[in-house]
Amino acid sequence: MRFSLEGLKLFLETYKSSTYLEAGMFVAMRRRCASARLILRTWLVSVNQLVIGWSYQDFTANKDQRFANVREEDDDFSPYFG
């Protein structure tokens, strides 16, 4: 599938201050054709998967660092459960 550079640039400029859906709808309305909407859906899914993938990788990579400062008494629920 070929992407137009102009459409991609417009999408990225719009995305800077918008959500995925708003950016996609803006470009789709600008293009006013079904093929542009299909391309935009593909872009949105791809970008969304990248963001989810990056978030998951960051979460798993930093797991040890995030929990390094947790003390055992932080997990003590005895004041709440008698």
Give me the domain span that covers residue 50: 1-60
Quick check: is 12 in a domain? yes
Quick check: is 56 in a domain? yes
Pick the residue with more confidence: 48 or 69? 48
pLDDT tens by residue, 17-63: 556 666 666 666 665 666 666 777 777 777 766 666 655 555 555 55
Residues 6+ away with beta carbon under 8 Å from 3: 39, 43
pLDDT tens by residue, 5-19: 777 676 666 666 556
What total of structural domains would you count in the chain? 1
pLDDT at position 79 is 54
Quick check: is 77 in a domain? no
Quick check: is 27 in a domain? yes
Quick check: is 51 in a domain? yes
Residues 6+ away with beta carbon under 8 Å from 28: 36, 37, 40
